[in-house]
Structure formats: C-alpha cells, structure tokens
C-alpha cells in the first residue's frame, strides 16, 4: 500500500488501523481468519489505478485494538466507520469468513455499493455437512495459554486439513503470526456459525454481487460460491485460475474491474 497507517474509531471506541492507496470509488478489502491488513498481497496495487483501496486490521489483529464482549455487529460497525472515512459508501471485497462478514454488513443496511465475494465457507452439500461453532473451544484454549492448539483445531476441524499439514505449518515462519491471531478465531466462528446458507438474508440483499471461486479449491467451497450467487437477486459467478482458496490476483483484479465498472 502506498499510504501509511491511519486509524478510525469505531462506534464502541475500538481503534481500527487501515491503509489506503489510489483514488476513485472506495473498495474495502475484508480479510478472513488469520488475515491482517496485508492479506491481499498485490491486489491493492492492481486495483488502485481506478479505485481507492482500503485494507485494514480487523479488531484484535495487527495495529487495531479490541473491545469485549465480541459481537459480529461490532465488526459491521468497523466497516461502516471505514466507509464513512472514505466518503460514506464503499464497495466491499471479502475473502472466506470475510466474505460472509461483507454479506452481513450489506444485510445490515449500511451503505454498500457492490460486493465481491471469494469463497464464503458455507456448507451447502453432502461433501461437507454443518460444522459446529468452535468459538468457545478456541477461546478456552487461548485462555488456557494454548493458542497453538486453537490454530491446530481450526486447521483440522474447520478447514479439514490433515494433522501432518498442521505440523508443516507449525515449523514454518508463519506459525508465530497465526498464534498471535488465534484469539480472533472465535470471531470468525461467530461470523460463520455452523455454515448454514442464510438464503432469506441473501435474497434480501439488492447490491450487485460477484462470487468468485478458485480452480484449485475443493468442491464444497466451489459449491458454496455457486449457491451464494444463485441466492442473491443480483448475483454473478466466476471461476478463476488459482490455488487453494486463493484465485490469481491479476486475473481476479481484471474481473473485479469489469464488474465494478458495470
């Protein structure tokens, strides 16, 4: 990002740190689990020739503060504060549980332009049934001084990765960053809940929405992405070359620009 770190104060007094670059209509990038404001890589630079791109640390992460007790509504207020700072309205781009948070923000009635949603992790088919809300278990483990075990629980039970994958990540440079954000896993669990697709709420969202899946993602995520597009009255769907849960940024930016201009 070109700009330095700035802050806004959310409705409950929480300080939300963000960066922005570019000029033009605003688009706020909303990360999922374990994401700080740098989660999108080079995507902001691929968009900021046409848009004011805002990426932020969700509460409890990076340079943002936190306020208890947690409620999903407080994170929606954080997005509203960022949109106000950008002029009162913004497009929203969300990844994974961040995509669900973007949908919840649009459903709440705050001013939202268009939505770009990357693989919101709903459970819509037999390949992946409902996953229980693991939030209390994440919190219990973190309170017991075992944040690494909370990370492992998320990776195996929520994402479905094998235990050996956890061990590989545990020995990698990224592990300490994941452990630092482990307390916020309960927040993403509250946003996602058991993964049931809220068809009625989605049907009431009038904002145009582009749901994007990656070619290397498992069927259950791709099916969920399709289901979101179909449930929304102004929903579209794209399948983009990419990795697991991560479409190629250059290809995605091109699709986003075409969609947002329309």
Token pair 């791709």 is at which residue? 222
Closest CA to 212 of 63, 125, 99: 99
Q: Which pLDDT band holds residue 1 (cuts at 50, 70, 90)?
A: low
47: left (phi over 0), alpha (psi -120 to 50) or beta: alpha
Instruction: Please say if the pLDDT value at position 3 is more than 90.
Output: no
Q: How far apart are CA 197 and CA 171, in angstroms?
A: 35
User: For the segment 144-168, what is each residue's pLDDT rounded down to a tens digit?
Assistant: 999 999 999 999 988 888 999 999 9
Report CA-CA distances (Å) from 96 to 34, 72, 103, 179. 11, 15, 11, 19
Would you kindly state where each structural domain of the chain is located, as residue ranges? 6-126+195-261, 135-189
CB-CB contact of 127 with 144 (8 Å): no
Q: Which pLDDT band holds residue 132 (cuts at 50, 70, 90)?
A: confident
SS (H, E, C) 154-222: HHHHHCCCCHHHHHHHHCCCCHHHHHHCHHHHHHHHHHHCCCCCCHHHHHCCCCCEEEEEECCCCHHHH
Average pLDDT of the residues in 22-39: 96
CB-CB contact of 31 with 12 (8 Å): no
What tokens does 13 get? 């007094």
3-state secondary structure of 65: coil
CATH domain 6-126+195-261 topology: Rossmann fold (3.40.50)
Tell me the pLDDT of the chain averaged across its residues: 95
Q: Which of 125-139, 160-174, 240-254 has the highest mean pLDDT?
A: 240-254
Closest CA to 134 of 174, 180, 191: 191
Q: How far apart are CA 151 and CA 190, in angstroms?
A: 16
Q: Name the pTM for this structure.
A: 0.95
Residue 199 buriedness (CB in 10 A; 0-12 / 13-18 / 19+): middle
């Amino acid at each position: 990002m070109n700009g330095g770190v700035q802050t806004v104060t959310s409705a409950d007094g929480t300080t939300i740190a963000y960066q922005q670059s570019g000029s033009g209509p605003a688009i706020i990038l909303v990360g999922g689990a374990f994401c700080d404001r740098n989660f999108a890589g080079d995507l902001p630079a691929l968009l900021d020739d046409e848009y004011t791109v805002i990426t932020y640390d969700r509460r409890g992460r990076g340079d943002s503060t936190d306020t208890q007790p947690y409620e999903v509504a407080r994170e929606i207020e954080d997005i509203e504060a960022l949109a106000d700072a950008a002029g009162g309205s913004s497009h929203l781009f969300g990844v994974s549980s961040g995509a669900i948070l973007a949908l919840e923000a649009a459903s709440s009635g705050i001013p939202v332009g268009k939505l770009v949603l990357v693989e919101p992790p709903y459970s819509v088919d037999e390949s992946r049934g409902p996953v229980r809300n693991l939030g209390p278990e994440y919190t219990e483990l973190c309170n017991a001084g075992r944040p690494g075990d909370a990370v492992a629980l998320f990776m195996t039970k929520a994402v479905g990765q094998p235990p050996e994958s956890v061990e590989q990540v545990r020995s990698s440079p990224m592990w300490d960053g994941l452990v630092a954000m482990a307390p916020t896993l309960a927040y993403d669990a509250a946003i996602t809940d058991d993964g049931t697709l809220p068809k009625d709420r989605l049907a009431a969202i009038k904002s145009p929405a582009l749901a994007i899946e990656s070619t290397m993602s498992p069927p259950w995520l791709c099916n969920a992405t399709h289901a979101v597009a179909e449930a929304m009255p102004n929903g579209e769907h794209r399948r983009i070359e990419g990795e697991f849960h991560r479409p190629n940024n250059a290809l995605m930016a091109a699709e986003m620009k075409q969609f947002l201009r329309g």
